[in-house]
Amino acid sequence: MNSQAGVHCIVVTPERTELDVHCEAIKLPMFDGELGILPGRAPMVGRLGYGLMKLKASSGDQSWFVDGGFVQVTRDGVYVLTNRLLKPDQIDRQGAEEDLRKATEMVAKTPEARALKERALEQARGKLRITG
C-alpha cells in the first residue's frame, strides 16, 4: 500500500462480501482496545472486539458495528472477517439492553458456557456503546 492509494478495506461476513472500499484511514474495535490503520501500516493479524469500525474517506466517513472476528493487514489491504456488519442505526438500544440483561442472567457452570456468556456480554456492551 502506498500513501497515495489509501487503504483498501474488504469486509467479509459468512454470507458475503459486505464492503470493498478505498479509504484514508480505518479505526477498528479490537478485543483489547482500538486499532488505527493508515496507509503503510505494518502487516499484522488481530482479533476483533465488538464495536464501531470507522472508515475515513474523501467521499465521507462511514461507521459500522463489527460483531467480533479477525482482521488481517497486508501490504495489499485490510481484510476484516466478522460475523455481522451493521449500520449503527440498525441497532436498537432497547434490544441491546435486553440482550445485556439476558447475558447477565445466563448460568455459566462449564468453560464453554462461560465463554458463551462472555461473548454475549461483550456483544451487548458493544451495541450499547454505539447507541449512546
Q: For the segment 26-82, what is each residue's pLDDT rounded down to a tens digit? A: 999 999 999 999 999 999 999 999 999 999 988 889 999 999 999 999 999 999 999
Q: For residue 29, what pLDDT is reported?
A: 96
Q: For residue 3, what pLDDT is reported?
A: 42
Whole-number Å distance between alpha carbons of 20 and 7: 11
Identify which of 111, 105, 107 has the alpha carbon closest to the alpha carbon of residue 124: 105
Mean pLDDT value of segment 15-19: 95
Which is more confidently placed, 3 or 51? 51
Domain definitions of the chain by residue range: 7-86, 92-131
Q: For residue 2, what pLDDT is reported?
A: 43
Whole-number Å distance between alpha carbons of 129 and 9: 24
Q: For residue 59, what pLDDT is reported?
A: 84
Q: For residue 130, what pLDDT is reported?
A: 86
CATH assignment of 7-86, among 2.30.110.10, 3.30.428.10, 3.40.920.10, 2.60.15.10: 2.60.15.10
Identify which of 7, 8, 17, 1 has the alpha carbon closest to the alpha carbon of residue 81: 17
Q: For residue 132, what pLDDT is reported?
A: 73
Global pTM reads: 0.83
Given a contact cutoff of 8 angstroms between Cβ atoms, the answer to whether 44 and 6 are in contact is no
pLDDT > 90: what percent of the chain?
84
Q: For residue 72, what pLDDT is reported?
A: 97
What's the mean pLDDT when you consider all of the chain?
A: 92
Cell of 111: 468453560
Q: For residue 110, what pLDDT is reported?
A: 94
Please state the φ and ψ torsions of residue 15, each to the nearest 5 degrees.
-85, -40
